[in-house]
Structure 1
């Protein structure tokens, strides 16, 4: 009897697989990156060599008249799923998706300044934080466990996200992490509406209700950003300003101004330089000072091989005087 059950389930699984194969197309892509990283002389670099392996799966097919697609990306030698997204394309009614890490809403425009490789805060202490953290990067709902809606109206793309509870990658149960609900959106368009070729502009807004942990009062935070990039010939110049306002006294609020310029020397080689200043307000312990950062990057592409390097530096990191940091990285990536 047990053997019969096993055979029956195997046959059923085979039938379902056959149906899926006919209904959707699956594709696989991947990349491997070798890196050399040198930290600030006050830090221990250890072994400076590293490797990251990414592999991604995408599937798309028609279900009841709608196009349903799924993506999943794993990295670091299959250490685990890092991002996934299930979306339904409803045509003129837009696309509805459940996002587990691929990027949604305000987080899709948190830093749009042009660069040839990594952002100018990448690899620095305090750099690349998620929402509500030091670093001047905006985004309230985040990209884990959020509902995402995307649609384009008269040339303007709306990308909205809403989250209930903590920003966590959940399986088939509720998240145990503390966190309040949040929502945000981004509006982007190109220069065709204004009759300016090469222009890309965008703005976004979001609110987070704060923690829902026992004994912790909810505190709203507001995130805003706006950017403009202009490409002329081989060069692209961009400027972005962002603001994070916290409702709780004693919590750091941030105002960020950033700019960058990228230049394509030829079809294979590009370079970039950028700067940003983060002004901190209502610092609870010491007098805040402005954080100043800068970065230079270069990238050379040969078919599916890319060699990139960047040098990033920051002073008064996190609004703390004399807290300086720097990072140099060289990366060789292979796409397949």
Structure 2
């Protein structure tokens, strides 16, 4: 990432707090990728695609020592509402008191931010097929793909993180207010411990009250990862606890990566989604590889999906791939 231009951002501080900015700058970074992907039951005639975005970050230090950062991602592929802006947020870093972020769009809730943290060289087990242009027969005869288990999330939400209160422990909380698309507000909490070399252990719990009433659920996830030398292994288990057994779901996953060199990594991961509404589990696997040289990455994921959405008809067994060449600048 390169600083492209420095300008004054005193207007930013004035809109946030009644103190002056003593130092400020605006930076820009970007990424672009060219790729292609497909599936054995896909229907797309052209499986090539392109992604690109530019993120502008403005930061300034207040008189009280707090640092305020504004982040705006320009991404025309998203077209959020009528805007070409994608993720956008304001973060206040209060030092030992932690950080508070307000996300206009794209901010993760605590559970949603760790819904799938299994080691991989490229892509999660469930997203390789679903995120390609040729998405593997998602038609009226195919069921809806299950992903990982997250929690409520919306525009204009808030999040708090603290990594200094306890050595090696990250404490997090998020709040999704009620409003359009969210009948009731939702709150998440999470802990992540990294105080032992190579070890990451986390637990997060939260609510999904978007539908309101008896449709509200309690969601949680726990995960453990351990890196030793060139190998990283991980296991994760998540659950949706609902008022009825048909809405109570479970998700389990494991993954392993091996760094062949500083530039090349390979990975393998599997996941199983057990939906209360189905007697058959959706099973996903992903074999992935990536090569990095400077700001360039060439990565590929080869995935297999069985019983999409918990259905056993042939159209719900899919094999697919996604290959992408990306650049960061």
The separation in 2 between residues aligned to 1:15 and 1:233, in whole angstroms, is: 46
The answer to whether residue 207 in structure 2 is matched with residue 207 in structure 1 is yes
The separation in 1 between residues aligned to 2:42 and 2:150, in whole angstroms, is: 30
CA shift at 1:210, angstroms? 3.7
- Using a 3 Å threshold, how does the CA distance of structure 1 residues 178 and 156 change in structure 2: closer, same or farther? closer
List gaps (5 residues or longer) in structure 1.
1-12, 128-132, 167-175
Report the equivalent of 1:144.
155
Q: Which has the higher contact order (CA 8 A, sep 6+)?
A: 2
Q: Residue 289 of structure 2: which of 277, 295, 298 is its match?
A: 298
Q: Residue 98 of structure 1: which of 102, 105, 109 is its match?
A: 102
Matches within 5 A, 1:134-283: 135-142=146-153, 144-152=155-163, 153-154=165-166, 155-166=168-179, 176-192=180-196, 197-211=197-211, 217-247=213-243, 249=244, 251-281=246-276, 283=277
SS of residue in 2 equivalent to 1:266: coil
Q: Number of paired residues?
A: 295
Across the aligned residues of Structure 1 and Structure 2, the Cα RMSD in angstroms comes to: 2.7
Q: Quick check: 2:9–2:24 contact (8 Å CA) kept in 1?
A: no
Report the equivalent of 2:309.
318
Report the equivalent of 1:30.
30
Q: Quick check: 1:126–1:135 contact (8 Å CA) kept in 2?
A: no
Report the equivalent of 2:87.
83
SS of residue in 2 equivalent to 1:124: helix
In the superposition, the TM-score normalised over structure 1's length comes to: 0.80
The separation in 2 between residues aligned to 1:262 and 1:232, in whole angstroms, is: 11
Q: Quick check: 1:278–1:290 contact (8 Å CA) kept in 2?
A: yes
Report the equivalent of 2:45.
46
The separation in 1 between residues aligned to 2:118 and 2:202, in whole angstroms, is: 12
CA shift at 1:288, angstroms? 2.2
CA shift at 1:179, angstroms? 3.1
The separation in 2 between residues aligned to 1:22 and 1:92, in whole angstroms, is: 20
SS of residue in 2 equivalent to 1:102: coil
- Using a 3 Å threshold, how does the CA distance of structure 1 residues 61 and 135 change in structure 2: closer, same or farther? same
Report the equivalent of 1:329.
322
Q: Quick check: 1:33–1:52 contact (8 Å CA) kept in 2?
A: yes
In the superposition, the TM-score normalised over structure 2's length comes to: 0.82
The separation in 2 between residues aligned to 1:201 and 1:134, in whole angstroms, is: 28
CA shift at 1:251, angstroms? 4.3
- Using a 3 Å threshold, how does the CA distance of structure 1 residues 224 and 136 change in structure 2: closer, same or farther? farther
Q: Residue 120 of structure 2: which of 108, 115, 120 is its match?
A: 115
Q: Quick check: 2:160–2:174 contact (8 Å CA) kept in 1?
A: yes
The separation in 2 between residues aligned to 1:290 and 1:14, in whole angstroms, is: 52
The separation in 1 between residues aligned to 2:131 and 2:242, in whole angstroms, is: 18
Q: Quick check: 2:223–2:234 contact (8 Å CA) kept in 1?
A: yes
Q: Residue 309 of structure 1: which of 300, 318, 324 is its match?
A: 300
